[in-house]
Every structure is written in C-alpha cells, then in structure tokens.
Structure 1
C-alpha cells in the first residue's frame, strides 16, 4: 500500500487542490493530507515497545529501520465506538512527518488517495469544534463522510512540547529591553483555521508590538477582504501597502488553502507588494519549493515563532537582526 504514496499525483501548485489518503478506524472513514505521509507499513506488534502507565492511545515506541518513533493508536485515542475488526485484518501504520517530527499512527486499514478541492472541505461548525478539536473538517466522497484528522493536535496531547509554547514566547518578548515601535505601524492579516493556534499567534504578535492585526478563519474569507481593500485603494488612488503590509497564512485550510491565497496575491499586479509568509506544520524541502513557486516571501514551520517574528522584521524593514534566509 506504500505504492500509493510513491504514485502521488503531482498537483500544480496554487490550484486549491490537495490529496488526502482515506483510512479506516472500524468502518468509519478518516483522512489526512498526503503531504504529511512518508510511508505506510504493516503493523508488527513485535516491533512495538510498550510504555507502562501511558495513555491507552499511546501504544509506545515503534522500531523503524534502527530508529524509534512514537506510535499512537488512533482508534483508541479518538474513542471510536466502531466494532473491532477480525483478528486477521491487515492493520497498518501511517508514518507521518510534520513540525519537523516523525510519528506513527496505527489504523485499521487504508483505502486510496483522493484528489479533492479545498473548496469541498467543510470546516467543523464552531459549536462542534470546541468539543472535537481533533478534526479540522469533513468532505463527502462517493457517499462517505470523511473526517479530516488534526494530527498536530493529537500529537500535542501526548507531547505538549510539540505544540506552540505561546506563553513562553510572550514572556520572552516582554523581557526585551525595547520592542521596535515601528512594528505598531504595520498592517497585518492572519489566515488560520485553528481557533487555538490563531489566538495564540495573535497573542504573540501583539506582545511583540505587532498590534495592528486582522484575523480570518480560512483563506477564502481572507481573500474576500483583500479584494475589498483593493477596491478601496483603487477608488482612493492609493497603493495597497497603505492598507496592508504583510499577510501570514497557514497552508491547510478549508475553502482556500494558503498556497492558492499566496498565488492569487502575487499574481495580482496591484497586490504583489504585500509580503506573504506561509506558517505551517507542512514546511519541508518539498513544500519549500511549492512556497517559492507561488511567490511567497518567506515560510516557517509552526514551532518556530521567534523565527516568524524575525522574518516579519526582515521583510518589513524593521530595525534589528535580520532573519536567516
């Protein structure tokens, strides 16, 4: 089944499409972005070292080609009430990489890779999201409702260090002798579908004097507001940078992904002076190429908040140490 990964369809970047791999927990379908998937291997109980006293969803560590990685039993952790499969069922492990970490996720089986539009992914309703943060949205494929699993959130439940340490960043910023006042003058936008991450980034940026920030729950809402600013700037004969200096966007978002959002901004002659930084758990060597192809001014993986602020300073011409390119 690992051939599914090797045969991944090459998507043109910025078309608002993605590929998800559909897998099963019992008879319920779930999915993740193929970009997070390194390989699929058969589940081998003998390769697992159990950690006594751990959460039922944490099977332990998995020996993978001489290295050990955490192994999560998604079915137990998500608390699926689906009946167990037969003993001879071919359970597999999804080996995933995001936020510069590798983790394994045991599932009951995989179906296939689907090429879909982000526009067809329905975000979780706000009142549901607060109770089920382990899912970021859902999509209907061939009559099956596939829930998109938030693997980053699940890993953070076992390993808090993998999550963004917002309070530490706020404390660090507060200890600086002097924060650049020019940061207050910059007009910013943030597109991020996770309410928790969105609020956390907002707190960090405002604590760093980046106080003029407008947030959006997905790329489409952000783009619609960008078009409103464009109309206002055109009507008043002013450059767009009088209204917006920099956009920070996640990559994975319902309705419109961050690569598409960035491409639309950079392909528009009136908008292209707006700096765009992609801030995502998906950043790796392959994704960096895609970020460059849509004209992103910078990109960083989500744990690197100090680097994000440095990068913002660099592209906005704020006095201080420039970020590494």
Structure 2
C-alpha cells in the first residue's frame, strides 16, 4: 500500500459517508479521513534531516521530491506504549495536506481504506475530550475499535502558527469593534466536533459581538435543533427571527457538514439560512463539493478574520447598521 497516491474518491456529496485509511501504531489501529491524505511512502531514514532538541515527536524534515516537509512520529507524540508487533514492521509515512500545509506522519504500517457512515462514528466522551483532544471519535470496523486522529490538533502542538488565529490579529480592531449592535441581533448556530476549535471560534465570534450563538458537538445534534426551529416556522414564526446563519465543520460524528448543509438547503422552509463551511479540508475539490450542497461560502480554519468578514457580508450587517 506504500505506493498509494491520492485519486478522486467517488463518494456522492451529502450522503453522510467518508472514507478512512486504517493505520497502526504498534498493533493498535487508528484512522484519518482519506481527504487529508496525499500519498503513502516507505519511510527512508536517509531522507530525514534531524532537528536537534525538537523533542521525541518531531523527527525533523523529510526530503520529498525536492521539497522538505515536517515529519512527526505519531507513536512517540501520542505516547503510545510499544507493543509486540505481528510480523515485520514496515514503517511508512502518511503525507497529508490540510489547512494549506503539507506534513508527514510516520506510522508502523497501513491496512486498508474503509468506507463508513458518519452515523457510525462515535464522539469522544466529554471527559476524555478534555484531556485527549488528539482524537475526535472512534468507529468499530470488523470488531476493531479505530480511533480517529485529530491531525490538525497534533500539528498545532508543534507549530502554533498552524493553529486557528484565535486572536484574529489581522484587522483585529476593525473586526471586533465595528457593527456591534447589528451583530448582536443575529441568530447563529455552529456545529464543530473539536472542543479546542469550538472554544476558539466561540471566543472570537462573541468578542466580535456575534453573541447569540448556539454550539453543537456534531451535525446530528445541530440538525435536531434546527428541526425544532422548522416547526416554529410552520407554527407561524418568521425564520429570520429564529436563525440567520450556520457555521459548520465538514468532518463530524453522526452527521457530516456537507449532509447537514444539503438537508437545510433542500428544505423550502430553511433554505434562506446562510451556511458557511469552516474546515481544514477546504481545497478546490472540497470547495466544489460545498457548492454542490448549496453552501453560501467556505473558509479554511486558520482564516478567522475572513470568516467574520464573510458573515458580515452574508448577514448584510452594514445595511442594517445604516437603516434607521
């Protein structure tokens, strides 16, 4: 499997399915979304440049076709205890791209790609999520419990610049101070499975006076809440007084963001709700998928200032501010 190179994954958009690649640290299986994976290569010690004093998890930089990428040893960083391997260990590197960055992750081998429903992905328990944010959920496949690794969080532990721009230092004063009264009137919901990212986005949005914000840990919980709003619309309440905009991650247990967006945009009673996809997976291919399900906009996760500017535009807060 070390010859894997990324090809288009033929999954119909909005079906609540994903494909994960199963890999091993010792004998324990883990998984990541194939959308993050560019290729799998055999680990070559001679192509590695060690960075002294960088800690056990950061191996150094790996030379890959004339370019260098950071190489992280997932087993060392996650703190996985060495276990007796079944047969010869053939270490490989998962070359991944997300948040407009390419990183390598050394693992002890790969098994295969599985197509699974997000309904079958179980969120991490709240008490575990607080202490082990390196995993976003788990899925049982053929009797094996596979932990889904949060690669974004792991990269941010080594490189703070790869983390969300929580302080939004780009145009921060303008972004946080203008239009407070109209932003406070907006009714927002957010679906995001990462506790770290949820708290970060909530901090920025409330600081920007988008204070009427309800937060959900997966797409299904969010959709159930929106269904309650739908019933109130049927009962005669105006939608614009109940919900104006949804911010959604794409990867989430129970219901992914593309499926959530599709359900909202196909509903005549809800389709006027603005939907912004906010995900580390945004690239040309994923942007096309967002368009297919009717998303109004999308941004990759480091772009917090751009997210707020997009929300201002979709909600027409300038026009509301000028109105008498």
What range is the shorter-chain TM-score in?
Answer: over 0.9
Measured against aligned partners, the alpha-carbon deviations of 1:95-151 in whole angstroms (never above 9, x if no partner) come to 000011000000010000000000000111011111211111100000111000000
- Distance in 2 between residues matched to 1:257 and 1:175, nearest whole Å: 29
With structure 1 as the length reference, what TM-score do the two structures score? 0.93
Aligned to 2:24: 24
Match of 1:103 in 2: 103
> What SS is found at the alignment partner of 2:318?
coil
Secondary structure of the corresponding residue to residue 268 of structure 1: coil
Question: Secondary structure of 2:225's partner?
Answer: helix
Say if 2:6 and 2:37, in contact at 8 Å, map to a contact too.
Answer: no
1:13 CA displacement: 0.6
Shift of 1:55: 1.0
Cα-to-partner distance string for 1:187-236 (whole Å, 9 max, x where unaligned): 1111111112111111111111111111111110000000001101211x
Q: Which residue of 2 aligns with 1:37?
A: 37
Residue 94 of structure 2 corresponds to 94
Asked if 1 retains the 8 angstrom alpha-carbon contact of 2:176 and 2:209, the reply is no
1:242 partnered with 2:241: yes
SS across alignment from 1:156: helix
> Quick one: distance in 2 between partners of 1:216 and 1:206?
16
Instruction: Output aligned runs, 1:177-216, within 5 Å.
Output: 178-216=178-216
Asked if 1:58 is matched to 2:58, the reply is: yes
SS of residue paired to 2:167: helix
Maintained 8 Å contact 1:85/1:108: no
- Using a 3 Å threshold, how does the CA distance of structure 1 residues 189 and 167 change in structure 2: closer, same or farther? same
The DSSP-based 3-state class of the residue aligned with 1:256 is coil
Residues in 2 aligned to 1:240 and 1:201: alpha-carbon distance in whole angstroms: 24
Moved more, 177-186 or 198-207: 177-186
Counterpart in the other structure of 1:290:
289
Equivalent runs, 1:144-163 vs 2, <5 Å: 144-163=144-163
Give, in whole Å, the separation in 1 of the partners of 2:87 and 2:44.
Answer: 13
Do structure 1's residue 71 and structure 2's residue 71 form an aligned pair?
yes
Native 8 Å contact 2:176 2:207 kept in 1: no
137-146 vs 207-216, greater mean Cα deviation = 207-216
1:3–1:170 CA distance, 2 compared to 1 (3 A):
closer
Contact preservation (8 Å) 2:3, 2:41:
no
Distance 1:200 1:47 in 2: 37
* Distance in 2, Cα, partners of 1:31 & 1:176: 38
Aligned to 1:310: 309
Distance 2:151 2:59 in 1: 16
- Structure 2 residue 12 is matched with structure 1 residue 12: yes
1:63–1:69 contact (8 Å) kept in structure 2: yes
Which consecutive unaligned segments of at least 5 residues does structure 2 have?
Answer: 320-324
Contact 2:171/2:305 (CA < 8 Å) preserved in 1? no
Unaligned residue ranges in structure 1 (runs of 5+): 321-325
Distance in 2 separating the partners of 1:54 and 1:118: 36
TM, length-normalised to structure 2:
0.94
The whole-number CA distance in structure 2 between the counterparts of 1:176 and 1:244 is 22
2-structure distance, mates of 1:154, 1:9: 25
Contact 1:59 1:73 in 2 (8 A): yes
For residues 229-267 of structure 1, give each alpha carbon's deviation from its aligned partner in whole angstroms, at most 9, with x where no partner exists.
Answer: 1101211x2332221000000011110110000000001
SS at match of 1:130: helix
State the number of aligned residues. Answer: 319
Instruction: Give the corresponding residue for 1:323.
Output: none
Assess, with a 3 A threshold, how the Cα gap between structure 1 residues 205 and 7 changes in structure 2: closer, same or farther. Answer: closer
